[in-house]
Amino acid sequence: MKTSEKTSINKIKFLIPALMLSLVLLLAESAMAQAPTKNKKVDKIPHAELKEAKVIARVTTNVQEIAPMRVKLNVLNPTGKTVRISILDYANLPVYQESFTGREYNKILNFTSTAAGRYMLRITGPKQVEIRRFAINSNFNRNLTPSPMENHNPAEVMAAIYQNEKNKIVLHVVNNTGKPISYVLRNSNQEVSYRGVIRAATFSKLFDFTELGDGNYSFEVQNQSQKAAYRTFALHTAYDRSFAWTDKRGRPLKAVGSSPISLRTNTLRTND
């Protein structure tokens, strides 16, 4: 053999094992890639489940002071069940109760004649209670207005009937007749509220009208059934009432989203 042929044969002998080794390594790598891995942890992503959210129907309440001592109450009831509306006084005694099952309730609550004090508005729905607290404040002034004095035969009986203090009347009499004279206080229906007899030469007395009801009154001094002195008085009471939302301690609350609720007043006056 020639030298060149021997060299070619040797190269072929060297390449064949190398090719076979490369083929074995390639097959082994492919097999490892396809074989399952027992120890390798595979994270599984769970399928998302869409659930319908529950919408809970709730009773909603809106209150608004629309005028002095008047409150507008609006209640929306999407539950279809009974809703109870109650107003309780400070001792938790009901002063007003009402129930409804409709979808909406509207009413104007008039507190003009409600006694002064602290109260609670309670709206009771299914598994739900809403409470609003408020206070009614009341102040009053009593005014006594006299008419001109009438005095007959002052030489015999000199009388003075005048207002000395608030709601108080003074009767002062000088009796020159030497005989008993009388005095009487009547209301507008001519009913006797008070009667007395004067035997002394001089007489003074203070009368308190505080406990008398509103109306017109007449004070008369009589000498032997004759009118010696006469004067009328008009007594009336002026009320100042206010309404305010409060907390548990009775302190006024600020209106939501606005300035504090002003204490409005409502004056009630009787006819003179």
pLDDT tens figures, 46-62: 555 656 656 678 899 99
Mean pLDDT of the chain: 79
At 197-218, the pLDDT tens digits run 999 999 999 988 888 888 999 9
Do 152 and 257 meet the contact criterion of CB atoms below 8 Å apart?
A: no
At 80-90, the pLDDT tens digits run 999 999 999 99
**pLDDT band at 16; cut points 50, 70, 90:** low
Highest-scoring range by mean pLDDT, 6-10, 27-31, 232-236: 232-236
Assigned token pair, 204: 């003074």
Q: How far is residue 63's CA from residue 80's CA, in Å, rounded to a whole number?
A: 21
Q: Which pLDDT score is estimated for 263?
A: 30
Residue 184 has pLDDT above 90, yes or no: yes
**pLDDT band at 181; cut points 50, 70, 90:** very high
SS (H, E, C) 159-202: EEEEEEECCEEEEEEEECCCCCEEEEEEECCCCEEEEEEECCCE
Residue 261 has pLDDT above 50, yes or no: no
Which residues face 176 on adjacent strands? none
At 117-173, the pLDDT tens digits run 999 999 999 989 999 999 998 887 777 788 888 877 777 888 889 888 888 889 999
Q: How far is residue 54's CA from residue 233's CA, in Å, rounded to a whole number?
A: 71
Q: Which pLDDT score is estimated for 148?
A: 83
pTM: 0.47
**pLDDT band at 243; cut points 50, 70, 90:** confident
Residue 17 has pLDDT above 80, yes or no: no
How would DSSP label each residue in 73-120? EEEE-TT-S-EEEEEEETTS-EEEEEEE-SSEEEEEEE-TTSPSEEEE
Q: How far is residue 134's CA from residue 71's CA, in Å, rounded to a whole number?
A: 11
Contacts of 156 (CB under 8 A, 6+ apart): 176, 177, 223, 228
Q: Which pLDDT score is estimated for 14?
A: 62
Cα torsion 159, 164, 170, 175: sign: negative
